[in-house]
Chain A
Amino acid sequence: MAKENTEVDAERETRTERTRAGDPTDTAPDQLISTDPGREGVAEQDDEPSGATETVIEAHGLDVYYGETRALDDVTIEIPSNRVTAMIGPSGCGKSTFLRCINRMNDLIDVARVEGDLLFDGVDVYADDVDPVALRRHVGMVFQHPNPFPKSIYDNVAYGLRVQGDTDDLDGRVEQALRRAALWEEVSDRLDDSALDLSGGQQQRLCIARAIAVDPAVILMDEPASALDPIATSKIEDLIDELAESYTVVIVTHNMQQAARISDRTAVFLTGGELVEVGPTREIFEDPEEDRVEDYITGKFG
């Protein structure tokens, strides 16, 4: 286990250097290598207003309508890079809707209408010249139910690279993605087996591997552990923790303990698609400014 972690760390540093040298959009190199992998250090930095990382996603006055129904109401939020930002709130509060705005998955719903500004890396995601297909190559997504394709384990991880026509060293990158998703040890000897033969937890880690294989900047997770048993859930949570060192993670969860365990920042949505409060996770859970948030956190509401 210790050996495996070392390998993962080595790969992460390799990637970080590549990112630093080659990708000018990723402008937070000082935060990418953390000498102390513990999350506490990061969270403390986050508590200081000036210690936050670069904002990678920001919404201003974002409204979403499904037909006549308003699903998001004037949402304004900034999401820092290389942090885990959790979206919590009761069912139907709009947290998943917000997530699906970021990679324009709402485009697939005919009746959905988005108003307001949503910037990814400073670019308006809903501008006319933005191609959602290109956007989604930088914003990966992991869904509530594991949804591997009915193909081999290998082909699942390679799928994103193949549709993007980026097939140099496919074997190596498939292995790297599987290692990062902490699945390599379990599947390395049966990459040609159907992905549907894996357990639910393994399938979900495979979906995470599939999402990170294309090396996105942001990973969106829509209740990624809600269909899993507690052991599989804890593996996913450990994984999210590690992913945040290389990626910006935005996770929707209805499990407040989970949000408290894994996130650096938490956004609380309440009924009607209203973003009530957003801030460092510790403040939200220990001393929220809004009474409604405190009521929700303590279980008086929702």
Chain B
Amino acid sequence: MNDARGEMDLSGDRGFQDVRESVYHVVLLACAVVSVLTTIGIVYSLAAPSVAFFAEVSAAEFFTATEFNVNIQPITFGVLPLAFGTIIVTVGAAAVALPLGLLTAIYLSEYADSRTRAVLKPMLEVLAGIPTVVYGYFALVYVTPFLDGVLPVELNTFNVLSASLVMGVMIVPMVSSISEDSMSAVPDTLRQGAYGLGATKFKVSTRVVVPAAVSGIASSYILAISRAVGETMIVVVAAGNLPNFPSGPGDVLPKFFEQTQTMTAAMVEVLTSEIGGGTVAYRSVFAIGLTLFGMTFALNLVSDFVAERYREEYD
């Protein structure tokens, strides 16, 4: 070693390297900034017309009125029936997707052999690639008549039930794919530890792997719910276009069999109708959009909190 002292060339052509490195830095930074700027731009474009809207319609009316009616007198801008529509559809979809997605993920991660998984997982992910309008027509043309035939209740042609069931199927791959990733990331040593204690495969899966992967599973849930909240085409096609608010808590369940209008569907309706730009009705779309953005933003915050709170570090 000592022989080589001072003989090794440790200098470099710093000038050119520095320039190249700073070019990389700037290009990568620009890529990151694009999406941040887009987000800021969208929030601004929602916020500016919303401010104008709230100058004409009181926030109290917007958030408490139980009617949304932009065409017929008396014109009312109540977001509640729309929010109710969004929530009831989302709850229905979640009731399908969360258990089905989690059980699918358990199967894929713990039970399926590698060949089955290699076939099944891409097939499942194809579900996420089907255009949502196709799901909408599937719900309207096949699911609703089928449900109408088997259920003992009278089902409206446009109804929450079939739209939310089909939407639930649509978001299953989001839940199963992300949940499966986080379950596969659970170290095998934990499984072996549980097997070594005489646990059955089902108990290893449900009492060790699922709890250990809970942060990823929760993230997948929130992501899927956000997706359902923002979904438009399925509800426009299959759930109808009539704001529908329950008269009381006992009236909530029957709403599944009736038509509804979600926040997204109302926005589409106003924007595609003959209501001109610059009117209050036109601006109400932005207020609804901002409210929707607030809802999904809150979900994302919850998701971050859950992921942070339950994350476990493994060696």
CB of A211, distance to nearest CB on chain B (Å): 7
Q: How large is the interface on A (under 10, 10 to 19, 20 to 34, 35 or more residues)?
A: 20 to 34
In the assembled complex, which residues on chain B have CB atoms less than 8 Å from the CB atom of A65?
none
Cα separation A133 to B203 with both chains bound (whole Å): 11
Q: How large is the interface on B (under 10, 10 to 19, 20 to 34, 35 or more residues)?
A: 20 to 34
Cα separation A207 to B192 with both chains bound (whole Å): 12
Flag whether A272 is at the interface (Cβ < 8 A).
no
A110-B197 contact given A163-B207, A196-B312, CB 8 Å threshold: no
In the assembled complex, which residues on chain B have CB atoms less than 8 Å from the CB atom of A143?
189, 192-193, 196
Flag whether B194 is at the interface (Cβ < 8 A).
yes
Point out the residue from A150, A160, A163, A196 that lies within 8 Å of B211, measured CB to CB: A150
Point out the residue from B189, B203, B212, B313 that lies within 8 Å of A163, measured CB to CB: B203
Flag whether A105 is at the interface (Cβ < 8 A).
yes
A105-B208 contact given A110-B113, A147-B190, A150-B312, CB 8 Å threshold: no
In the assembled complex, which residues on chain A have CB atoms less than 8 Å from the CB atom of B193?
141, 143, 147-149, 207, 210
A214 and B198: CB pair below 8 A?
yes
CB of B260, distance to nearest CB on chain A (Å): 41
Flag whether A137 is at the interface (Cβ < 8 A).
yes
Interface residues of A in 183-209 (CB under 8 A from B): 196, 207
CB of A277, distance to nearest CB on chain B (Å): 28
Flag whether B200 is at the interface (Cβ < 8 A).
yes
B197 and A214: CB pair below 8 A?
yes
A108 and B192: CB pair below 8 A?
yes
Flag whether A159 is at the interface (Cβ < 8 A).
yes
A137 and B187: CB pair below 8 A?
no
Flag whether A145 is at the interface (Cβ < 8 A).
yes
CB of A193, distance to nearest CB on chain B (Å): 13
Question: Considering only CB atoms, which chain A residue lies closest to B310 in the complex?
Answer: A150
In the assembled complex, which residues on chain A have CB atoms less than 8 Å from the CB atom of B198?
133-134, 136-137, 160, 163-164, 214
Point out the residue from B187, B203, B313 that lies within 8 Å of A147, measured CB to CB: B187
Cα separation A136 to B198 with both chains bound (whole Å): 5
Flag whether B195 is at the interface (Cβ < 8 A).
yes
Flag whether B103 is at the interface (Cβ < 8 A).
no
CB of A100, distance to nearest CB on chain B (Å): 9
Flag whether A103 is at the interface (Cβ < 8 A).
yes
Flag whether A15 is at the interface (Cβ < 8 A).
no
A163 and B195: CB pair below 8 A?
no
Further 13 A-B residue pairs, CB within 8 A, beyond A140-B196, A160-B199: A108-B191, A141-B192, A143-B196, A145-B189, A147-B192, A149-B208, A149-B211, A150-B312, A159-B197, A160-B197, A164-B198, A196-B313, A214-B197
**B interface vs A, CB < 8 Å?**
113, 187, 189-200, 203, 207-208, 211-212, 312-313, 315
**A interface vs B, CB < 8 Å?**
103, 105, 108, 110, 133-134, 136-137, 140-141, 143, 145, 147-151, 159-160, 162-164, 196, 207, 210-211, 214
Enumerate 17 A-B pairs (CB-CB under 8 Å) in ascending A order.
A108-B192, A108-B195, A133-B200, A137-B197, A145-B315, A147-B190, A147-B193, A159-B207, A160-B197, A162-B207, A163-B200, A163-B203, A164-B198, A196-B312, A210-B193, A210-B197, A211-B196
